Amino acid sequence: MKRQSIVNLLLIAVWVSASAQKNPVEQITKLITKEEVEAHLTFLAADEMRGRDTGSPELDIAANYLAAQFKMLGLKKAPGLDSYFQPVNFVNVHPATAGKLVIGDDTFQFKEHFIQFEGGNFEWSGEVVYAGYGSPEELAKANVKGKLVVTLAGKKDSEGNPTAIFYAAGDKFRDARNAGAAGLVEIFAVPQIPWPALVNYFASNVSMKVKSNDGGAVHLWLKDSDAAGIKKLKESTSLAGSLKVEGVREVVVGSKNVIGILEGTDPKLKEEYLVVSAHYDHVGVSKRGNQADSIFNGARDNAIGVVGMLVTAKYLSQFRPKRSVLFMALTGEEKGLLGSKYYSDNPVVPLNKTVFNFNCDGAGYNDVTIATVIGMERTTAETDLARACAAFGIKAAVDPVPEQNLFERSDNYNFAVKGVPAITFAPGIKAFDAELNKYYHQPADEVSSLDFDYLMKYYRAYVYANVLLAHNPQAPVWKAGDKFEAEAKKLYGR
């Protein structure tokens, strides 16, 4: 072939590529098809996948499927990994069989008076201190290093809300551990949740966590009581005490995050990373009551999200963005956001180069006129997200049920606590009502029940939003005053 002909062909190819980029809505509409979306969903949420429980052979099959998709799309393996898998070791924790807590002159027994929320076998004696609600400021004032710290459950603004108390617990334990406390004891006073129900759940069931070699601290919940020792502790702020927990047993469970990278085209922006994530696990198989079906297929939660990630990877691999993009299918979300917790502590790309996490997850939908963007109003990505949704005939809506604490119940949260602006794109919800709960964590959540006319609008809007974010020269940031703004300033040095 003559040189001039080659040059002409190259010029035409460049022009076609540039022309296509100018009309991404049209290209997305053509490229993201119902047939492909339905095929992915049908595989991931099939009965044969048995609910994709973390640690199951079926979740490994899903991981292999996703890795094969990444390879076909030409995604690169992440730095430091020899495959598309980031190994994550979990442990199934079999609960304690016995324990005793002494505070001053009072003795509290395992199950009858306290349960272990986190930690292993433990033996300690020393100083017990009281620190109000256990805020970082209260912990610092109480000088908790090496001590067992007792606090009220939740935060000052929890107002007895069980959901808020549960989701505050992890952060509070992290803060206490970072302050050097030997352990955290929260006084649990929530009449809506009977103490026997807590004991039955936390002291009788196997739980899963990320395997850690840290050892150390323990986290307990103490039944609210009129014990003299607790009253005296609140008044004096310090008493002698001891704690023994025994019988905890851990069994290692292997799993993996699935990661692929698409390098950006802009010399400067390719050094920044947009993380497109979705968890690919669900809750497995469970026989409940008289239900004939025991397989929790997880079409909505979260095969929908995984397919959102895949179709975004498909589009961006053909129409390369300026900013680099890291695609990640996360394990263990249903076990407590474990895969994202592991990644945020062990990132394959430095977090200070990760400018945004756009997670795709949801409980289902009951409003097909919107996409619910959890945390949208908290970042400067809001304009791009509204534009993307409007282009495909739906509206970008903020979280309608803040009391459900959804922002902290998906994988975006583990990026946010590190300072990375991180939000979740979810199918449209107007309330946690009977229509939503018919499918949320139920065997009925199968592909045959999905509204594909709505899903195509939802998927195309998600892809377009990622296109806008990956090309926008200004990376999204937390809005002024957001609770994660200070952590972001530390992370990015600004």
CATH number at 60 reads 3.40.630.10
**pLDDT value for 15:** 36
Residue 1 belongs to some domain of the structure: no
Do 209 and 270 share a structural domain? no
Beta strands 183-188 and 249-262: pairing type?
unpaired
Q: Which amino acid is at 403?
A: E
Q: Which amino acid is at 371?
A: A
Q: Which amino acid is at 25?
A: V
pLDDT confidence band for 16 (50 / 70 / 90):
very low
Do 145 and 63 share a structural domain? no
Q: How far apart are CA 457 and CA 36, in angstroms?
A: 14
Q: Is the pLDDT of residue 5 over 60?
A: no
Do 391 and 282 share a structural domain? yes
DSSP state of 53: B
Do 358 and 209 share a structural domain? no
Arithmetic mean of pLDDT, 417-441: 96
Q: Convert the pLDDT of each residue in 79-132 to its tens digit.
A: 999 999 999 999 999 999 999 999 999 999 999 999 998 899 999 999 999 999
Burial class (CB in 10 A: 0-12, 13-18, 19+), 180: middle
Q: How far apart are CA 71 and CA 239, in angstroms?
A: 60
pLDDT confidence band for 19 (50 / 70 / 90):
very low
Q: How far apart are CA 47 and CA 294, in angstroms?
A: 10
> What secondary structure, in 3-state letters, does 352-404 show?
HHEEEEEEECCCCCCCCCEEEEECHHHECCHHHHHHHHHHCCCEEECCCCHHH
Neighbours of 92 (CB within 10 A): 16
Residue 15 belongs to some domain of the structure: no
**pLDDT value for 165:** 83
**pLDDT value for 215:** 61
**The model's pTM:** 0.86
Domain boundary residue among 247, 270, 303? 247
Two structure tokens written together for 196: 């026997």
**pLDDT value for 289:** 67
CA distances from 80 to 210, 255, 297, 341, 357 (A): 20, 18, 33, 19, 21
Residue 390 belongs to some domain of the structure: yes
pLDDT confidence band for 3 (50 / 70 / 90):
very low
Q: Convert the pLDDT of each residue in 74-93 to its tens digit.
A: 999 999 999 999 999 999 99
Task: Estimate to the nearest angstrom the gap between the alpha carbon of 26 and the chain centroid.
Answer: 32
Residue 3 belongs to some domain of the structure: no
Do 413 and 307 share a structural domain? yes
Residue 135 belongs to some domain of the structure: yes
pLDDT confidence band for 203 (50 / 70 / 90):
confident
In the three-class reduction of DSSP (H, G, I as helix; E, B as strand; rest coil), residue 61 is classed as: helix
Arithmetic mean of pLDDT, 288-310: 92
Q: Which CATH number belongs to the domain containing residue 148 in this structure?
A: 3.50.30.30
Domain boundary residue among 247, 273, 292? 247
Residue 4 belongs to some domain of the structure: no
Q: How far apart are CA 373 and CA 398, in angstroms?
A: 5
Do 362 and 323 share a structural domain? yes
DSSP H or E stretch at residue 44:
helix 34-44
Structural contact between residues 358 and 425, judged by C-beta atoms closer than 8 angstroms: yes
Burial class (CB in 10 A: 0-12, 13-18, 19+), 171: middle
Q: Is the pLDDT of residue 12 over 70?
A: no
Do 269 and 228 share a structural domain? no
Do 441 and 378 share a structural domain? yes
Percentage of residues in the chain with pLDDT exceeding 90?
80
Nearest to 273 by CA among 84, 459, 466, 8: 466
Residue 264 belongs to some domain of the structure: yes
Q: How far apart are CA 412 and CA 277, in angstroms?
A: 8
pLDDT confidence band for 11 (50 / 70 / 90):
very low
Nearest to 62 by CA among 397, 239, 309, 431: 309
Q: Convert the pLDDT of each residue in 220-266 to its tens digit.
A: 999 988 888 888 898 887 899 999 999 999 999 999 999 999 999 99
Arithmetic mean of pLDDT, 319-343: 97
Q: Convert the pLDDT of each residue in 147-170 to its tens digit.
A: 999 999 988 877 777 777 887 888
Residue 13 belongs to some domain of the structure: no
Residue pointed to by tokens 């949801």: 362
Q: Is the pLDDT of residue 20 over 90?
A: no
Do 303 and 187 share a structural domain? no
Percentage of residues in the chain with pLDDT exceeding 70?
94
Domain boundary residue among 247, 265, 294? 247
Average pLDDT, the chain: 92
Nearest to 356 by CA among 242, 488, 197, 193: 488
In the three-class reduction of DSSP (H, G, I as helix; E, B as strand; rest coil), residue 186 is classed as: strand
Nearest to 474 by CA among 263, 264, 269, 267: 269
Q: In what order do the strands lie in the sheet with 183-188?
A: 106-109, 98-103, 238-246, 122-130, 148-152, 183-188, 218-223, 114-118
Arithmetic mean of pLDDT, 434-448: 96
Give how many domains the chain has, as a whole number. 2
Structural contact between residues 335 and 208, judged by C-beta atoms closer than 8 angstroms: yes
Do 333 and 371 share a structural domain? yes
Q: How far apart are CA 49 and CA 43, in angstroms?
A: 8
Do 261 and 234 share a structural domain? no
DSSP string, 64-102: HHHHHHHHHTTPBPPTT-SSSEEEEEEEEEEPPSEEEEE
| Domain around 42 | 23-89+255-492
Residue pointed to by tokens 């979280």: 399
Do 118 and 27 share a structural domain? no
